[in-house]
Amino acid sequence: MTELGSLTAVQLVAAYGKGELSPVEVTRAALARIEETEPAVNAFVRVDAESALAQAEKSSQRWGRGEPEGLLDGVPVSVKDILLMRGGPTLRGSKASRTEGKWDEDAPSVARLREHGAVFLGKTTTPEYGWKGVTDSPLSGVTRNPYDPSRTAGGSSGGAAAAVALGAGPVALGTDGGGSVRIPGAFCGVFALKPTYGRVPLYPSSAFGTLAHVGPMTRDAADAALVMDVISGADHRDWSGLGPVPGSFRDGLDDGVRGLRIAYSPSFGGQVAVAPQVAAAVRKAVEKLARLGAYVEEADPDFSDPVEAFHTLWFSGAARVTQHFGKEQRDQLDPGLREIALRGARYSALEYLAAMDIRMDLGRRMGRFHSTYDLLVTPTLPLTAFEAGRETPSGRGRWTGWTPFTYPFNLTQQPAATVPCGVDEGGLPIGVQLVAARHQDPLVLRAAQALYEAGAAEVPAPRL
C-alpha cells in the first residue's frame, strides 16, 4: 500500500487544512492504486477517473481559498453499487437490471457525501441485490480478498471493504442486511459499522425491508464517526428515517471504556463452533477492554438461532426483488438468488407474520439484555476468509450457515461494528464484533476507538 493510501480521512482533512497535501495528489494516488490492484481483486464495477480528478481539482481550489465545503472535502470515497449515485446506472450486481434512464439522483447518504465535498472514485462490486455474504455475480465476476486473492473478500459489500483495505480511498459506503458490511470488514481487516436502523436514511427502500442498513466502511473508528456526522442527517425520502442526532458522533469518542459493563459471548452459549485462532484473537481483544477498565464477564444473549425467521424475511425480499422479472431476466440471475426467490414466493402472509413475531421477541430479549450490559462482544465471524467463488466454505446450505453472529442484529436493528483484532496463521484478518442497544451507536464507536488507541485493532497491510 502506498503511503497516501494508508492515511485516514481525518488525517487527510488535517493535511489539506495545513497545505501539506492536495486532494488532487491524493485522488491520483487512489486511482493509481485501483489500476494497480483491480485485475487481481475486482473491487470496482465502475471507475470514473476523469470525474474524480475534476472533483478533486475543485476541492483543491476550495482548500486553497481556505473555504472547504464540508467535513470530507477532498476525501476519496467509493459507493457500493446498490446505492444510487448520479452520473451512471446502478446495476446492483445484476445483468437483469435496466441501464436506461437519466440516473440523475443520489441516494441520501451519497447526497450528503457530495454536499460535504467528497471525491467519488466509482462504484464497488456487490452480489446481485446484495443477497449473500460473499461478493460474486454474473455481472461482475468474483471479488477477491486483498490479503490472499484466492480467498473471498466477503460480502455483500465486498468491493467496498477491499477498496478501503487496499488504500483505494479511506471511506466506502456499504449496505448491511444480514452482516454485509461487517462480514467483508472482518475478512478484509477494516472497520465497518452497521448503525441503528434508520440512523442513515435509505432511498429507494430496500426490498429486504427494515433488515437493510447503510453504513460506513473505513480505516478506523474515528473515520467512521466523522462519516456518520455527514450521512446521518434526515432525508424526506426515507419514511422510516430517525430524527436529527443531538451533537456529533465524535463527541466522547475518546472517553474510553472504563466503567462500561461488557458481556463477552464467545460462542452464543455453545451454539457456534468458532475456529481456535479466531477465538483466541477475539478473547485477546476482550482482555484488552478489561485492562482498559471495562467490567467484563462471559454472558450469552437469551436467544436461540433465529435463522429460520431470518430466512423467511430474507427470501421473501428476494422474491419481491425479482417479482416482475420475465423469463429472460430470471434466466440471467445467480442460481442461488433464483432459488431463494422461488422459496420466498411460497411463504404465506401468516408465515411472514410469524417470523415478525420471532423478530419482535428477539428485540425484546436484547432490550432486556442491555438493561444489564452496555455492550455485547462476540467474534464477527467464526472463521477467516475461505475460497473465493463459493457461497459457503463447505459448499452446502446458505451463507447464513457461517454468519451466525451477524444477522441476528439486523433482526433487532441494533448498532454493531466489526473491529480488526489480529490475523490467523495464514495472515488472514480476524474481526471482533461490538453490539449496543438501539440508538447507542456512539457507544459502539467509543469502544472501538479505545481498541484502536490501545493498539489492539492493528493488522498488517494487505499483500497486494
| pTM of the predicted model as reported, rounded to 2 decimal places | 0.98
Measured CA to CA, the distance from residue 54 to residue 75 in angstroms comes to 13
Identify the pLDDT of residue 407. Answer: 98
Q: What is the pLDDT of residues 174-187, one digit of tens each?
A: 999 999 999 999 99
pLDDT band at 226 (very low <50, low <70, confident <90, very high): very high
Read off the pLDDT of residues 280-313 as tens digits, 9 standing for 90 and up. Answer: 999 999 999 999 999 999 999 999 999 999 999 9
Q: What is the mean pLDDT of the chain?
A: 97
Query: Kind of pairing, strands 171-176 and 76-80?
Result: parallel
Supply 376's cell numbers: 455485547
Per-residue confidence band for 131, with pLDDT thresholds at 50, 70 and 90:
very high
Kindly list the structural domains of the chain, giving each domain's residue range(s) and its CATH number in brackets, ordered by start: 4-453 (3.90.1300.10)
Q: Please classify residue 270 by burial: count the beta carbons closer than 10 Å to its beta carbon, then call 0-12 exposed, 13-18 middle and 19+ buried.
A: exposed
Q: Report the Cα–Cα distance between both ends of the chain, in Å, rounded.
A: 7
Q: Tell me the per-residue pLDDT of 328-361, one tens digit each, with 9 for 90 and over.
A: 999 999 999 999 999 999 999 999 999 999 999 9
- Positions marked active-site: 80, 156, 180
Q: What is the reported pLDDT for 1?
A: 60
Phi, psi of 405 (to 5 degrees): -90, -15
Question: Average of pLDDT values for 233-253?
Answer: 93
Q: Is the dihedral of CA 41, 167, 123, 391 positive or negative?
A: positive
pLDDT category of residue 26 using cuts at 50, 70 and 90: very high
Confidence category of residue 98, pLDDT binned at 50, 70, 90: confident
CA dist., res. 405 & res. 234, Å (int) = 29
Residues of the chain above pLDDT 90, percent: 95
Asked if residue 2 has pLDDT above 80, the reply is no
Q: What is the pLDDT of residue 100?
A: 81
Instruction: Please name the residues in contact with 284: beta carbons below 8 A apart, sequence gap of 6 or more.
Output: 421, 422, 456
C-alpha cell at 105: 439522483
191 has a pLDDT exceeding 80: yes
